[in-house]
Amino acid sequence: MNIFILEDDLMQQQRLEQLIRELLSEYKWIPRSISTTSKPQRLLEKAEKAQGKSIYFLDIEIKDVEKKGLEVAQDIRKFDPYGMIVFVTTHSEFAPLTYKYKVSALDFIHKESNESEFRNQVMECMALLFNQKKQLISDEALIFENKHSHFQIPFHDILYFETSEISHKMRLIGKTKIIEFYATLDEIERLDYRFFKCHRSFVINLVNVESVNRSENIVSFENDHICLISRRKVKKVIDLIKEIRS
């Protein structure tokens, strides 16, 4: 899980980041990253490269540009259609504009709320993101749909995804079937927090990993399936598997 904060007021920036870190510690939530900035372009550059689910806390007025946060939210939606967007602002009159801008905001938090209310709203947004991990997966199905492909498969049947010999074509390796379709690995990884891009050619389903071989940089699945792991991501894979299983 990635947490992004866009805020140009240093005091408000520190207030929000400190609160988020306190909540992470209190509820034992483990994020992949926390990024705080006052520069919209810097946030967008980092967010576009982020792996896994993300939540964005955006101020609406940045550097005296009243609706800059709304424009940033529109840009986020171009590469992260499923990320959670939360506006944190003094401009409550802009709340109806979130519909006009079609950014599907999760919440709208007023900076001048009392500390208790402010904390509760931030906590509820983060809980919605992190508590998704507590859901049982036995009856879940991955439903994938874009302009090229549409399929549905039980989540627990998915072992991993790999690139194919054809540009932009992926191969889903399951326990009982193989599905080929057009997409990118980054697009696949964003579909679920249990998917992780461990290598430039593979996205794995962390739930179905049977073992990790540190010396050979591979992960193993049932039926003798294996995937390569980039050396710098071996520890991350192990940590994420522990987090999910706990």
CATH number of the domain encompassing residue 83: 3.40.50.2300
pLDDT tens digit string along 25-61?
988 888 888 999 999 999 999 999 887 789 999 998 8
Q: How many domains does the chain have?
A: 2
First-to-last CA distance in the chain? 16
The amino acid at residue 53 is K
Q: Are residues 192 and 152 in the same domain?
A: yes
Q: Are residues 7 and 90 in the same domain?
A: yes
Q: What is the mean pLDDT of the chain?
A: 86
pLDDT at 97: 60
pLDDT tens digit string along 129-185?
777 544 434 346 787 877 777 788 888 899 999 999 888 899 999 988 899 999 999
Domain that holds residue 189: 141-245
- Number of Cβ within 10 Å of residue 239's Cβ equals 12
Q: Are residues 149 and 124 in the same domain?
A: no
Q: Which residues contact 43 (CB under 8 A, 6 or more apart)?
A: 4, 6, 35, 37, 56, 72
Q: Are residues 164 and 127 in the same domain?
A: no
pLDDT at 161: 97
Final residue of a structural domain among 87, 105, 134: 134
Q: Are residues 76 and 168 in the same domain?
A: no
Average pLDDT over residues 217-222: 95
Across 132-141, 188-197, 228-237, the highest mean pLDDT is recorded for: 228-237
Q: Are residues 128 and 181 in the same domain?
A: no
